[in-house]
Amino acid sequence: MLIIYLMKAALRLHSTLLNTTECSLAKSTLPTWNFVENKSVQKHFTFKDFKEAWEFMKLTAKVAEQHDHHPEWTNVFKRVEVRLTTHSAGGLTLKDVWLAKFMDQAESIVKHEHDE
């Protein structure tokens, strides 16, 4: 049921604001992200060192640029703080949910590469 609902939502324009039900579903798929009044999502990533944090940011930046959706973020040594929102829509959209999921995957990829 969740997958069907999300697929239907994906058919809408990606820059349409998520409604309350969609935000609740998004929360269930992004348990490590903090939802701020259904207007944005935030997360603090911590890496082994600056190099690993930078690799994460490079990977994310490449994909974000390809999709024309850019995170608000800061980096201090091994920490990256991220806030995602769609400014043109005035809040949270599927673009933000998609990029948050991608960033979670990018974190795993970067950390796995450095474990080998």
Interval 69-88: pLDDT, tens: 899 999 999 999 999 999 88
Round to whole Å and give the CA distance between 20 and 4.
Answer: 17
Which residues pair with residue 35 across a beta bridge?
41
Total tally of structural domains belonging to the chain: 1
Q: Please tell me the pTM assigned to this model.
A: 0.84
> Which CATH number belongs to the domain containing residue 26 in this structure?
3.30.1360.20
Determine the structural domain holding residue 70 and report its residue range: 2-115
**One-letter amino acid of 55:** E
Nearest to 100 by CA among 32, 25, 15: 32
- H or E stretch at 46: strand 40-46
Interval 28-50: pLDDT, tens: 999 999 999 989 999 999 999 99
Round to whole Å and give the CA distance between 89 and 83.
Answer: 15
